[in-house]
Homo-oligomer: A and B are copies of this chain.
Amino acid sequence: MVKKDKYKIAVVGATGAVGRRMVSILEERNFPVACLTALASARSVGRTLSFRGQDIAVGELKEDSFKGIDIALFSAGASVSRQYAPIAVKSGCVAIDNSSAWRMKKEVPLVVPEVNPSSLGKIWGIIANPNCSTIQMVVALKPIHDKYRIRRVVVSTYQSVSGSGYKAIEELEQQSRDILEGKPVQKNVYPHQIAFNCLPHIDEFLENGYTKEEMKMVNETRKILGDEMIEISPTTVRVPVFYSHSEAINVETELPIKANEVKDLLSSSLGISVVDNPNKNEYPQAIKACGKKDVVVGRIREDLTRANAINFWVVSDNLLKGAAYNAVQIAELLLKQVSP
């Protein structure tokens, strides 16, 4: 990719929950877009998206879709990314991929711009956007790791249905209505009722008893923080919330750690808002983090069981910082590093 005043951008999966937010964030951030190509599967062709006051027709994703494109933002699932990201790169495009397809490949940078910008490197092909639940956790962990050196993390998540896309949002809405009206519940996206229930099950189960979502938190966190010694013990849970994921995080560090120090540290860290006034009932909440770009941290308190451990609560909009915004941030980082 060469330096230009404006770039040709494609969004793959443009009609999805994340894709639509990618388009609106490109507009909101005033990203130097020369022209925007919206791509999706054949059944979305004919739909339009609004970008800078114009209607953009959605085109069908094909092998020749990437001709002349500078940057392609992918959010159409792992199998689409596995097939089309290499094609995009072959066409001379940088592919920023929001799926799990490429994240753990050694040669693919896995980037959270506030955390590991230098991992982006200088030669760009596929760049991976981490998993939503990982991103918000590592943004909070990074300053703590730098100062206290993290040894072990025990994390339990409270993840919203929007992480499973529009159909899951509709499913929570419809199931909630049906239950309130005393009607039987229909299940399509999730194997069990999600309305007024909690499911300790996100993505597929693996042989070791963990889900893929849980192992993403383990493996991606280590890769992003560049430290294979960090131990992570996750439980990922879907809760009946529409937008934003919450996480209860317990961190053990090498050095003794104090709640007040961590509050100050995180308050002055990039991409983090601290909301932590228990006396005023102020703490991070899913409904309040929704639409915000920062990761919100609160309930910061020392672990009473040891001098080198701390508990906190992290909330973030999973479609923004957890997906679309982080991908656009990667694109912005890329532009800064393009040689003239």
Contact = CB atoms under 8 A, between A and B. Distances in A.
A305 B209 contact: no
A231 B285 contact: no
Contact of A278 (B205, B218, B239, B248): B205
Nearest to A232: B305
A174 to B, nearest CB: 10
Contacts of A172: 196
B231 A306 contact: yes
A193 B287 contact: yes
Contact of A246 (B177, B200, B287): B200
B209 A301 contact: yes
By DSSP majority rule, is chain A's interface helix, strand, loop, or mixed?
A: mixed
A201 B192 CA distance: 27
Given A158-B158, A192-B281, A301-B208, A286 B233 contact: no
A158 B200 CA distance: 11
B239 A200 contact: no
Interface string A147-168: 0000010101010000000000
Contacts of A154: 154, 250
Interface string A23-50: 0000000000000000000000000000
A216 to B, nearest CB: 13
Contacts of A231: 304-306
Interface residues of A, number: 56
B304 A210 contact: yes
Interface in A292-321: 298-306, 309, 311, 313
A51 to B, nearest CB: 27
A338 interface: no
A313 B232 CA distance: 17
A333 interface: no
A273 to B, nearest CB: 16
A233 B208 contact: no
Which one of A218, A231, A248, A283 has the greatest number of beta carbons of chain B within 10 Å?
A248
A66 interface: no
Interface of A: 152, 154, 156, 158, 172-173, 176-177, 180, 191-193, 196-201, 205, 208-210, 218, 231-233, 235, 237, 239-242, 246, 248, 250, 259, 278-279, 281, 283-287, 298-306, 309, 311, 313
7 contacts: A154-B154, A158-B158, A192-B285, A200-B298, A208-B301, A235-B250, A239-B240
- Which 8 pairs show the lowest CB-CB distances between chains A and B? A209-B301, A231-B305, A156-B156, A205-B278, A156-B248, A235-B248, A191-B281, A154-B154
